[in-house]
Structure 1
Amino acid sequence: MRILLTSQPIYSHLVPALLPLARTAQALGHDVAVATAASMADELARAGVAHLPLPHVPGQTELRTDPRLAERFGLPQRLMAPGRHTVEPTVWQQIARAYAGPIAGCFAADLLDAARDWRPDVIVREPAEYGGYLAAERLGVPHATLDIAPFAAEDLPHVVDVLDEQRAALDLPPTGDGWHPHRHLRAGLLPETWYPPSLRPASARYYRMPASAAEPALDPWYAELPDDRPLVLASLGSLVLSLPGMAEVLPAVVAALGELRCTAVLSLGGRTELAELIGSPPKNVHLTPFVPQRTVLATCDLFFTHAGFSSTREAVTAGVPMVALPAVADQPANAHRIAELGLGLRLDLEELTVAGIVDACQRVLVEPAYRWRVRAMQRQLLTGPGFEQLVEDLAGLVGQH
């Protein structure tokens, strides 16, 4: 079977889930390639996965730094209003329409050229990448969605018209159906209980991510952390910390962690210069440029997180309750679901205070029900089918066409 994976040229869209799927399929003897922008070439080379570079698809750095290019693809010039830390819903709808509209059209055109030589049997995309869906429809091959952002499906009613415009450009009939891009298989990466009933299409199945082949050893200083208090991991992610004004929340987070009777490890998301903004942290708070998150989470009692889906999934996998401080994209919806299911609590960036952070963290650390509920979902996840079954299900789609 020839499996073609498609992804926006964004690390968090490609690396955490699509590359493990690629390696699983390769290990089972299938031919696998990833179609994305040339900017991801080094990442794919390190992973040992074939790359089909799409010459006209821009990288994310280009889109963020070239206003004319962003305007050409229908992307907003500014994410946040001055003085605010959150993005208005209308701005995210504009971004969603750009990804389903002109960006998808550009992606599909390049992908169709590449596919004529590579000849995939099935195309698997991540939910922000619609070009793979369009190309698969044009080629008459089955397609599937690896669902790295479950709440992205809430955008589907707002993008149906632009998707149908792209279908028309490829001589495909309109569907008027927002769920059409998921019609063959929507592969979830958390148990069904994570998904609200409205986000459970008939094509949905749920899978367990494989464990990392080589979990990194922790630096020796982790072994010296105290054993007489809970361990809290705090990370807002590298992308969030790069957004305007977001780094300014770190001093409040550090001050709050300093007031808790805990040991805290705070990741700077690779941005070592942020240590100057924080200054000298309290003795119980340890700053680090980067943290091997999956490894450290397995040792933690609480995760203070921006509620990106990969981070949320990793916390559930480790059975660790959360305090969520969402900023952009699907993070607010993920944080709402965390609180709704009792897996932790949600904070609001626009009303953030040191006292509010302390209170939320203390409540989740002290109340055992948060831990019980997240560990119940952990058990559901760990007893689910793995990516080997997903590859088998993709072969079943091919067999039906």
Structure 2
Amino acid sequence: MSLPPDDRMRVLVTVNPIESHLRGLVTLVDALGGLGHDVRIAVPDKWSGWLRDSYGVRTVDIGASWLDPDFDSVVFGALLDGGAAAFDRALMAEFTSARVAGYVAARVLALAEHWRPHAVLHECTEFGGYLAAEVLGIPHVVVDIGPLEAVVQRLHTEVVRPGLTARRAELGLPPEPPEPGVLRHLTVSMTPEAFNHADFDAPLRRYRHELPTRRDERLPGEFPWGTPIVYLSMGSIGPRSTRYMPRSIEIYREIFTALADLECSVLAALPAQYRDVFPSLPPHVHTMTRVPQSLVLGKVDLFITHGGLNSIRDTITCGIPQVLLPFFADHPGNARRCAQLGTGLRIDPATVTAAEVLAACERVLADTSYRRATAELRERMYALPRQTAFADDLRDLIETSPRS
């Protein structure tokens, strides 16, 4: 495929409307846009304004949100009833369904009638952009924001392939291939090989993770920056689930009980719906509805985390050891890998107790080997190419693509 004379690529980005999924690839969007390319993120209409204001990205409206309260009820009901494996199956069934992948594919194809991209860049749980790219005959690039290896590949035969085969038939495409079609052109990873995908046999490029920031983010002005400093964040998906909230309360209660007995300063990300549940925490435990993680993390001594890949990439980049409570999708695999590499300790959130959390925090803070292991992984991260190198790789992919 030929690019225009000015060499300016048109790239459409598709993500599921979950902010952490956007954060997983927004720095790539910034890198391409900073080089002068026309990059637009396809989002629901209610997302466009705040995304432009918060991240400075260019968006295109593709209609109403395709994730709704029913989605929350289905996937977190599966987690409560059947554990992480059931959650993963329900999540992939939803993401490959007609009301999600089919809806996005149709809207992207309608958009392409008046603005045709040279390529689609999509996160690994968003399949509508991939399907539309297949119809248009343009390259598609998948960005690993976490569940690629743990969910998309593992569940490809059982869940993903049947769902995508049905969607492909609706679009006049042949069945989804035995190997994940999203991997066919290029996969982008922003983790070092020492962490994951060392045995990946599909085309893959690695780039250095860069901390994503919002324009409205500032360091907490009144936080007492004593030492050691513990930062707590259990992610942006699980804690905000109405269906899962009773279990989240139990987990938070065990963590806060442990932190009450730990000699430290604590900064905790605690969604607004939990403020009335925990109205009087100890004075050394400070909560914020939203913590500017990219700004805070490099200043702390320990990160208590759910283990999502965005947070893991942040903690590697900042060289901070972890205590991990993994829930679903990529969390368990990430937590196991951190434990294997010696950067942190894993606790099962299904059976977590305050005593376990306290013991793990005390051990990681006292044993300098955890910080050394994280620092070694950080060096591997910084040895990767900057994300601006992605522009050349994407250009090569577009120019060598046999279809137009």
Alignment of 1:130 with 2:127, yes or no, is yes
Partner of 2:88: 92
Q: Could you list the per-position Cα deviations for residues 271-292 of structure 1 after superposition, in whole angstroms to 9, with x for gaps in the alignment?
A: 1x52332243233322233321
The answer for the alignment partner of 2:103 in structure 1 is 106
Match status 1:41 vs 2:32: no
AA at the equivalent of 2:21: H
What residue is the counterpart of 2:12 in the other structure? 4
Of the candidates 267, 270, 281, which is equivalent to residue 265 of structure 1?
267
Classify the secondary structure of the residue corresponding to 2:194. Answer: helix
Matched residues in 2 for 1:240 and 1:139: separation?
A: 35
- Work out whether residues 4 and 32 of structure 1, in 8 Å CA contact, stay in contact via their aligned partners in 2: yes
Counterpart for residue 236 of structure 1 = 234
Q: TM-score, normalised by structure 1?
A: 0.88
Give the unaligned 5+ runs of structure 1.
Answer: 68-74
Contact 1:17–1:209 (CA under 8 A) maintained in structure 2: no
- Mapped contact 1:215–1:295 kept (Cα < 8 A): no
Letter in 2 for 1:185: L
| Stretch of structure 1 that moved more, 107-116 or 314-323 | 107-116
Which aligned pairs between 1:337-352 and structure 2 lie closer than 5 A? 337-352=337-352
- C-alpha displacement at 1:197, in angstroms? 4.1
Pairs within 5 Å for 1:2-401: 2-14=10-22, 16-46=23-53, 47-55=55-63, 58-61=65-68, 63-64=70-71, 78-81=77-80, 87-102=83-98, 103-149=100-146, 150=148, 151-153=150-152, 154-158=154-158, 159-198=160-199, 200-212=200-212, 216-222=217-223, 224-226=224-226, 229-243=227-241, 244=244, 245=246, 246-269=248-271, 271=272, 273-401=273-401
Structure 2 CA distance for partners of 1:77 and 1:293, relative to 1, 3 Å: closer
Amino acid at match of 1:241: P
Secondary structure of the residue that 1:187 maps to in structure 2?
A: strand
Across the aligned residues of Structure 1 and Structure 2, the Cα RMSD in angstroms comes to 2.3
Deviations 1:24-51 (A, max 9, x none): 2121111111123223222333234332
Q: For 2:132, give the aligned amino acid.
A: A
**CA separation in 1, counterparts of 2:164 and 2:185?**
17
Equivalent pair of 2:87/2:328 in contact (CA under 8 Å): no
- How much has 1:155 moved relative to structure 2? 2.8
Higher mean alpha-carbon deviation, 237-246 vs 141-150, is at: 237-246
Q: Provide the secondary structure at the position in 2 that maps to 1:291.
A: coil
AA in 1 matched with 2:232:
A
State the Cα deviation string for residues 186-219 of structure 1 (Å, max 9, x = none): 0001112211545x23311111133557694423
**Deviates further, 109-118 or 209-218:** 209-218
Cα shift readout 1:53-111 (whole Å, capped 9, x = no counterpart): 223x634335448x8xxxxxxx55833437xxx83413421320231232212211221
CA–CA distance in structure 2, aligned partners of residues 288 and 162 of structure 1: 40
Identity %, equivalent residues: 32
Q: How far apart are the structure 1 equivalents of 2:275 and 2:33?
A: 41
What is the distance in 2 between the residues matched to 1:314 and 1:77?
A: 26
Farther off after superposition, 355-364 or 200-209: 200-209
Aligned length: 382
Secondary structure of the structure 2 residue equivalent to 1:386? coil
Partner Cα distance (1:59, 1:203) in 2: 30
* Mapped partners of 1:193, 1:178: distance in 2: 24
Per-residue CA deviations over 1:163-193 (Å, capped at 9, x if unaligned) read: 2222222222224323321111100011122
Deviating more after overlay: 163-172 vs 213-222: 213-222
| Amino acid across the alignment from 1:253 | I
Contact 1:39 1:59 in 2 (8 A): no
Q: Per-residue displacement from partner, 1:225-278 (whole Å, max 9, x unpaired)? A: 32xx42111111242222322123222211211222222222213x1x523322
Deviations 1:298-337 (A, max 9, x none): 0111100111221111111100011011223322222222
TM-score of the aligned structures, taking structure 2 as reference length? 0.87
CA distance in 2, matches of 1:334, 1:116: 40
The offset of 1:362, in angstroms, is 1.3
Q: Distance in 1 between matches of 2:209 and 2:198?
A: 22
Give the drift of 1:127: 0.6
Q: Is the 8 A contact 1:32 1:50 kept in 2?
A: yes
Q: Which moved more, 1:257-266 or 1:169-178?
A: 169-178
Which 10-residue stretch deviates more, 120-129 or 43-52?
43-52
Secondary structure of 2:232's aligned partner: strand
Moved more, 203-212 or 338-347: 203-212
User: In structure 1, what is the Cα distance between the partners aligned to 2:311 and 2:212?
Assistant: 15
SS at match of 2:78: coil
Letter matched to residue 95 of structure 1? L
